[in-house]
Amino acid sequence: MIKKIATAVGLMAAASVTQAAELEITLTNATHGVYFTPVFAAAHNNTVSIFQSGSAASDALESMAEGGDISGLVTAATNASANVADGGNSGAPGASNGPVGPGNSVTFTINTDSGNDYLSLAAMLLPTNDGFVGLSNWKIPTTAGTYRINLNAYDAGTENNDELAASIPNAPFVSSFGTPGGQGNAVTSGGTGVTAAGDENGVVHIHAGNLGDLNNTAGVSDINSSLHRWLNPVARLTVVVK
């Protein structure tokens, strides 16, 4: 995203002019046992892209997908005159309150400027190595109304999916919030690794999902397969255009 937004600044004047709008955005976690980190969301012009399937992730996207850090995305978007989300309950620019647990929702607003008529969104999925829920370059409708979109999980392609607690920096972040039905901590230990170094793919692609296992002290994965496997879509996005 950093490179794409950096080159977009000089092109802002050439962007198509549309009427400014106020967006009320609600992101609902549709998974059984996966958490979303704070959410980056921004309205921008058509020269900006935070990710593209089949292309390598930017440094900013990698930081978000591997560790939940959205600061690089916020900085790049702000530098490109994008309209960044108001922060929802957290008050942090570009972020909604996190974590967003299974079945829970978070709502925030974006006030768009003329020309910033595309919406993008991203948040890390926990526990994963570099998985994220994402929306890239969705054209904001010009007609007022309520619009609903199902969102898929993507793999940033920057880290192999070994599913080991040591490779998931925010694993304790998930565990500290417990799991549905009081079923214990989200991440265990002792796994040997689902994939090996060098299996990270290198480009953004649809996530294959967590494999997990049911062995809390050994096995291939430190992720619980009864809690943390999923099928796309992983989220529902509701956008109210006012």
Is residue 190 left, alpha or beta, with left meaning phi > 0 and alpha meaning psi from -120 to 50?
left
**Structure pTM?**
0.84
Sign of CA dihedral 91, 3, 157, 150: positive
Count: domains in the chain: 1
12 found inside a domain:
no
Asked if pLDDT for residue 25 goes beyond 60, the answer is yes
Residues in CB range of 159: below 8 A, 6 or more apart? 66, 129, 130, 167, 200
132 found inside a domain:
yes
Residue 181's pLDDT is: 36
88 found inside a domain:
yes
Alpha-carbon span 48 to 5, nearest angstrom: 5
Q: Is the peptide bond before 38 cis (omega within 30 degrees of 0)?
A: no
Alpha-carbon span 105 to 99, nearest angstrom: 10
41 found inside a domain:
yes
16 found inside a domain:
no
223 found inside a domain:
yes
Tell me the per-residue pLDDT of 156-205, one tens digit each, with 9 for 90 and over. Answer: 999 999 999 888 876 555 555 444 333 344 577 788 889 877 778 899 99
158 found inside a domain:
yes
Tell me the per-residue pLDDT of 122-167, one tens digit each, with 9 for 90 and over. Answer: 999 989 999 999 999 999 999 999 999 999 999 999 999 999 988 8
Tell me the per-residue pLDDT of 210-224, one tens digit each, with 9 for 90 and over. Answer: 999 998 889 999 998
Q: How far is CA 211 from CA 29, 129, 175, 193, in A?
A: 20, 12, 18, 11
> Any idea what the CATH number is for the domain that residue 195 is in?
2.60.40.2130
Mean pLDDT, the chain, rounded, equals 82
42 found inside a domain:
yes
Range of the domain at 153: 1-7+21-242
Q: What's the mean pLDDT in 5-25?
A: 51
Asked if pLDDT for residue 15 goes beyond 50, the answer is no
